[in-house]
Structure 1
Amino acid sequence: MAEPDATRPPNGATGVLVLANGQIVWGRGFGAEGAAVGEVCFNTAMTGYQEVMTDPSYAGQIVNFTFPHIGNVGANSEDEESGNPIALGCIVREDVTEQANFRATQGFDTWLRNNGRIGLAGVDTRALTRAIRVQGAPNGAIAHNAKGEFDIPALHKMAIEWPGLEGMDLAKEVSTLQTYKWEDGLWSLGEGYATHSANPDGPHVVAIDYGLKRNILRNLVSAGARVTVVPATTTFDEVMAHQPDGVFLSNGPGDPAATGEYAVPVIKQLLEIGTPIFGICLGHQLLGLAVGAKTSKMHQGHRGANHPVKRSDDGRVEITSMNHGFAVETATLPDNVEPTHFSLFDGSLAGLRLKDKPAFSVQYHPEASPGPQDSHYLFDQFVSALRK
């Protein structure tokens, strides 16, 4: 494909995506005006777009939604997985319409604009998805200008020069800076989020925040735990000062090898003294690194709410939510670690357990909000073990 130039956009185009390989994708901009650069990935979920946009694991990424009708249920504060959108922008097929859900407090367009995030509509998202599947997740610059005025060469330069997620530690950027207690439980219609602060005798879980989703904490609380959240860079001594019964390793963005430079030594010390550990997503990858396995960048990654995972022990299949671009390499697991789950899409490792320590992890998101909920049992399994 020819190098991009400053050719005027087609009539009506107020948004554009410029990929590092020179491909230009025109569309109709919405949300905030401006430009952003990151990795372009795709998500196949039919619901939960607000949860996706606020998932800290999407730091440094632009999300291409394969489901065409994104934004039609509006936005509300209850569905946010963090305090504000983390994903840099989103790409959708159809124009965002007026919200049509009784829980909406504002339109998706307005929500993005108020939070400084860019949207691009009118794109053949399936074609873009096929390109990512063949070529891998590309770097790209997304831009929105109401007048349709763009400096294409400058956007192309942004995409080319962006270093990519490999080798990038983003956990520090999205982690909490302060230690805090968490007391909310799971949400129910008409009642909102349950509060379990009246159960002070539950096992104490210290959750290390590498970019965690709020629904993880809600599941831990609803399973009966008392939860304290600490920053990603918390030391072993600082973790142990909270006298945890167990430690949770959260999801998060970026390259696990980069985050592992400060996280893995802490996890190794926790394993040495036999602290029960449960990890999800990035936490799964960090646990893998701590026991001596290796991680690698995936060609396209897994992102969606319909990923089948097979359990090794009984052969049952769970439908799961996933969001990861790195994976633990099964062949590098040491003898004291056994694989517990595998992806039925590509056979990649989706769970592991130590044979000689009370530690396990999964690559997928058992807390998936809004769903599926096939894997909620893992939180009960972890907290019940702590009680014993």
Structure 2
Amino acid sequence: MKRQLILEDGTVMIGQAFGSNEPTFGEIVFTTGMTGYQETITDPSYCGQIVTLTYPLVGNYGINRDDYESIQPAIKGLIVKEAADFPSNWRNDMSLDEFLKIKNIPGISGVDTRKLTRIIRKHGTLKGAICAETVNPNEIIKQLLEDNTPNNQVEQVSTKKLYPSPGRGHHVVLVDFGSKHGILRELNKRNCDVTVVPYNTNAEEILALKPDGVMLSNGPGDPKDVPEGVAMIQGLLGECPIFGICLGHQLFALANGADTYKLKFGHRGANHPIKDLKTGRIYFTSQNHGYAVSEESIHSTHLKVTQVNLNDCTIEGLEHELYPAFTVQYHPEAAPGPEDTNFLFDQFLLSIEKWKGTVKQNA
């Protein structure tokens, strides 16, 4: 069955339908990872977006139970050059097409994803729709040009209530702005006693849980749409060590008086080089974000830039000059992608131990 991909700039592409038959609207983005499509599809940071996978063959190793980053995917649709009909892997449980049907996510294949990526790189991120071949493109374009972009993506993907992930080590409160399972996995691997809380939990409620440290998770959308997170972080500064990832990094910057802005087409993929300004080392990182912290806005704050992106010099790491708090724009938990910066979780735990030692001395 044929299907249309329609962009707000008037571009129309015809491809093959797979996955759900439901029409869908969303922001079209591209990601450059060569593998890890299951982790990408289930990453909550893609909430509300139609994801283009630039690697030409997708689905060849199927879907398995181990590689989920959330139970319920939040993407609006999937665009690929070719979707494998018969996956082959010892862990395979179902095909990509079967998975998307179960999760009610429409897909379109046979699209020139290289051309589509070039359009997005030239014009910036565009709104788009995947719909039946019989639909009038002009009617869809008219809808796309209306300002109907939702701003509650974090609310959609955050947990609705607190829940524990027990361990016998340091007690870490993980604020769920749309957290990937990989973050929880890395904390549990280090025997942390984790309490996961909703995005709108305030500082007083978090401190009442007696955390040794607080982790600010990744998540979707514009950080300025989450004022609750900004206020919460302001209430936590100086009270316990903080480690922020992706959206958590951006919210941390806003909480300290810095500013954020929307990138032309974002950073999404598993091959983004960053430079550590302290050591001069280069790391390859997994990234998924459409916003960045403004470098100019940092100068009037107590924040220090620790890492930068080697592709476009955007800020990739921050630390507070007065308090034990640091953040990164990328995903040190990878999934998918390189694990070059996995040590940052150990660095967070070291900051907790140092903080606890200081508190004991002052008691």
Normalised by the size of structure 1, how large is the TM-score?
0.88
**Secondary structure of the corresponding residue to residue 291 of structure 2:** strand
Residues 296 and 328 of structure 1 are in contact (CA less than 8 Å); yes or no, is this contact kept in structure 2? Answer: yes
Overall identity of the aligned pairs, in %: 45
Residue 361 of structure 2 corresponds to: none
Residue 68 of structure 1 corresponds to: 56
Residues 176 and 216 of structure 2 are in contact (CA less than 8 Å); yes or no, is this contact kept in structure 1? Answer: yes
CA shift, 1:95, in A, is: 3.3
Residue 330 of structure 2 corresponds to: 364
Matched, 1:92 2:55: no
Matched, 1:380 2:346: yes
- State the distance in 2 between where 1:158 and 1:83 align: 31
**Secondary structure of the corresponding residue to residue 353 of structure 1:** strand
- State the distance in 2 between where 1:157 and 1:74 align: 37
Residue 231 of structure 1 corresponds to: 198
- State the distance in 2 between where 1:17 and 1:257 align: 30
CA shift, 1:279, in A, is: 0.2
Higher mean alpha-carbon deviation, 218-227 vs 148-157, is at 148-157
CA shift, 1:387, in A, is: 2.4
Residues 286 and 336 of structure 2 are in contact (CA less than 8 Å); yes or no, is this contact kept in structure 1? Answer: no
Residue 174 of structure 1 corresponds to: 157
**Secondary structure of the corresponding residue to residue 365 of structure 1:** coil
CA shift, 1:374, in A, is: 0.1
Query: One-letter code of the match for 1:229?
Result: V
**Secondary structure of the corresponding residue to residue 50 of structure 2:** strand
Query: One-letter code of the match for 2:21?
Result: E
Residue 245 of structure 2 corresponds to: 280
CA shift, 1:335, in A, is: 4.3
CA shift, 1:367, in A, is: 0.4
Residues 141 and 158 of structure 1 are in contact (CA less than 8 Å); yes or no, is this contact kept in structure 2? Answer: no
Matched, 1:319 2:302: no
- State the distance in 1 between where 2:38 and 2:146 align: 29
Residues 258 and 301 of structure 2 are in contact (CA less than 8 Å); yes or no, is this contact kept in structure 1? Answer: no
CA shift, 1:274, in A, is: 3.0
* Superposition pairs of residues 19-98 of structure 1, within 5 angstroms: 19-98=7-86
* Superposition pairs of residues 249-264 of structure 1, within 5 angstroms: 249-259=216-226, 261-264=227-230
- State the distance in 2 between where 1:60 and 1:222 align: 31
Residue 8 of structure 1 corresponds to: none
Residues 83 and 96 of structure 2 are in contact (CA less than 8 Å); yes or no, is this contact kept in structure 1? Answer: no
Structure 1 stretches of at least 4 aligned residues deviating more than 4 Å after TM superposition: none
The partner residue of 1:128 within 97, 107, 116 is 116
Matched, 1:307 2:295: no
The partner residue of 1:290 within 247, 255, 271 is 255
**Secondary structure of the corresponding residue to residue 83 of structure 2:** coil
CA shift digits 1:210-250 (9 cap, x unpaired): 00000101111212321100000111121112110111111
- State the distance in 2 between where 1:162 and 1:152 align: 18
- State the distance in 1 between where 2:164 and 2:143 align: 40
- State the distance in 2 between where 1:319 and 1:330 align: 21
**Secondary structure of the corresponding residue to residue 309 of structure 1:** strand
Residue 194 of structure 1 corresponds to: none
Query: One-letter code of the match for 1:176?
Result: T
The partner residue of 1:213 within 175, 180, 183 is 180
Residues 220 and 383 of structure 1 are in contact (CA less than 8 Å); yes or no, is this contact kept in structure 2? Answer: no
CA shift, 1:336, in A, is: 1.9
- State the distance in 2 between where 1:150 and 1:247 align: 49
CA shift, 1:178, in A, is: 1.1
Matched, 1:153 2:138: yes
Listed as ranges, the gaps of 5+ residues in structure 1 are: 1-12, 184-196
- State the distance in 2 between where 1:141 and 1:120 align: 11
CA shift digits 1:285-340 (9 cap, x unpaired): 00000000000011010000000000000110000000000001111113421101
Query: One-letter code of the match for 1:46?
Result: M
CA shift digits 1:78-101 (9 cap, x unpaired): 211011221111111113221111
Residues 210 and 232 of structure 1 are in contact (CA less than 8 Å); yes or no, is this contact kept in structure 2? Answer: yes
Residues 37 and 158 of structure 1 are in contact (CA less than 8 Å); yes or no, is this contact kept in structure 2? Answer: no
Residue 203 of structure 1 corresponds to: 170
Query: One-letter code of the match for 2:177?
Result: Y
- State the distance in 2 between where 1:335 and 1:162 align: 34
- State the distance in 2 between where 1:46 and 1:64 align: 12
State the aligned residue count.
353
- State the distance in 2 between where 1:329 and 1:275 align: 26
Query: One-letter code of the match for 2:189?
Result: S
Residues 30 and 120 of structure 1 are in contact (CA less than 8 Å); yes or no, is this contact kept in structure 2? Answer: yes
CA shift, 1:162, in A, is: 4.8
- State the distance in 1 between where 2:148 and 2:326 align: 32
Residues 272 and 286 of structure 2 are in contact (CA less than 8 Å); yes or no, is this contact kept in structure 1? Answer: yes
CA shift, 1:384, in A, is: 2.3
Matched, 1:117 2:105: yes
Query: One-letter code of the match for 1:226?
Result: D
Residue 191 of structure 1 corresponds to: none
Residues 256 and 301 of structure 2 are in contact (CA less than 8 Å); yes or no, is this contact kept in structure 1? Answer: no
